[in-house]
Amino acid sequence: MRALVTGGAGFIGSHIVDALLRRGDEVVVLDDLNTGFAQNVAAPARLVVGSVADEDVVREAVSGCEVVFHQAAHKAVLRSIERPLPTDTVNTHGTLTVLQAAADAGVRRVVHASSSSVYGGATRLPTPEDEAMMPRSPYAVSKLAAEHYCRVYSELHGLETVALRYFNVYGPRQRPDATYAAVIPLFVHALLAGRAPEVHGDGLQSRDFTYISDVVDANLAAAAAPSASSGNAYNIAGGRSWTLLDILRSLGELLGVDPRPVFLESRAGDVRHSRADASRAERDLGFVCRVDLDEGLGRTVEWLRALPPESG
């Protein structure tokens, strides 16, 4: 199979590329390298440097592909609040550009990276896919709009689409030195450096953390699932949640340190609690998460320990 992975030089996308190459697929990567790294793209994948919002570049990259794994996005909630227009250009317009090019090129299926942020502050925990959507940031709005475009292209153009709502993905290649770094690499980096980790709010907000290899497996399952899954969205998570203070305690045990966080103001756009009902993904895609939190944190710490000092 020939596949296109947009955002394939980034954290999640590069792991998908590796999995596709291991099974012998031909892989094209489209990435603008604003947050991704060319060294993340393993040979023999072909790297095309450009934006998913550039119609000509996308058409060239998608030519001859059977499946598109659409991972490219502006991912940070805070960045979307500070700069909503670039977020919308990549996440909404970029997704529409990918869908149109895929439909024109005869692509069989587009697997789209969505987000648990589309729910906002969900009233039901664990949260099923039919929960009312109340996005709380431009990022979340853009992800929900992209989901609707996927569904519409499935209904109007016969392009199979599956949207995956990721819940707090973590693991190797998620860097602590990114401008809007995620909480787990930031915590680990601070503890390794002997600094107090920063916690926004009281630390009792909870998240359903999902290890990167499980997200990769979900994408492969979504690409191969029966056509009845087309047009649907699925929660991708283990269905358990931990507070930020729980995460700090676990990391402290792994690193042999006593975490003493500094508490800062809560951040705009954050939700208090998230936890997925992932039963639909198990039913329709045959997918369940397999890596528990302790194992995933251990692998993540090993990778972050090996980073050179200038990386963060």
Give Cα separations from 249 to 12, 21, 112, 296 (angstroms): 26, 37, 34, 15
pLDDT band for 311, please (50, 70, 90 cuts): low
pLDDT over 80 (residue 312) = no
Quick check: is 153 catalytic? no
Cα→Cα distances 203→170, 244, 251, Å: 18, 5, 14
Indicate whether 269 pLDDT > 90. no
pLDDT per residue over 111-133, tens digit each?
999 999 999 989 899 999 999 99
For the stretch 10-63, pLDDT in tens is 999 999 999 999 999 999 999 999 999 999 999 999 999 999 999 999 999 999
Q: What is 2-169+209-236's CATH number?
A: 3.40.50.720
Catalytic residue, candidates 139, 166, 211, 234: 139
Q: Taking the CB of residue 202, how many other CB atoms lie within 10 A of it? A: 11
Domain boundaries, the chain: 2-169+209-236, 170-207+240-274+291-305
Q: Please give the angle made by the CA atoms of 276, 278 and 281, to the nearest 5 degrees.
A: 145
Fold designation for 170-207+240-274+291-305: UDP-galactose 4-epimerase; domain 1 (3.90.25)
Q: What is the pLDDT of residues 137-189, one digit of tens each?
A: 999 999 999 999 999 999 999 999 999 999 999 999 999 998 889 999 999 99
Summarize pLDDT for 281-309 with one digit per residue, the tens: 999 999 999 999 999 999 999 999 998 86
